[in-house]
Amino acid sequence: DIQMAQSPSSLSASLGDRVTITCRSSQSISKYLNWYQQKVGEAPKLLIYAATTLQTGVPSRFSGSGSGTEFTLTISSLQPEDLATYSCQQSYTTPWTFGPGTKVEIK
């Protein structure tokens, strides 16, 4: 199985801050990497697919980059509604696997 790691596991930032979350895969997955946002008590929501493509309806303050084994999710200006856990997921090969999540808190 391809293992997914994320850092940090949690972070606290102020409104308006730029936030960056890193995801690393145990082997190269090209750009087969998706990002999800999950608010407490809710289902995950797709933010970005294919490492860099913003899902329809997702605010442009979210962006993704990377390829191979290292990827980043950036929130350019943190908003109150961004309080959530963010998870990466590889779609390179089955079993499709998720990262452990990064919890984003507002300072």
Q: What would the 3-class secondary structure string for the chain be? A: CCCEEEECCEEEECCCCCEEEEEEECCCCCCCEEEEEECCCCCCEEEEECCCEECCCCCCCEEEEEECCEEEEEECCCCHHHCEEEEEEECCCCCCEECCCEEEEEC
Candidate list 29, 36, 37, 71; residue touching other proteins; CB under 8 A: 36
20 or 96: CB nearest other proteins? 96
31 or 61: CB nearest other proteins? 31
- Asked whether position 98 contacts other proteins by CB under 8 A, the answer is yes
CB atoms within 10 A of CB 68: 14
The one-letter amino acid at 29: I
- Asked whether position 101 contacts other proteins by CB under 8 A, the answer is yes
Candidate list 25, 37, 89, 102; residue touching other proteins; CB under 8 A: 89
x/- string (CB under 8 A) for other proteins, residues 45-74?
xx--xx--x-x-------------------
Residues that bind other proteins (CB under 8 A): 1, 31-32, 34, 36, 42-46, 49-50, 53, 55, 87, 89, 91, 94-101
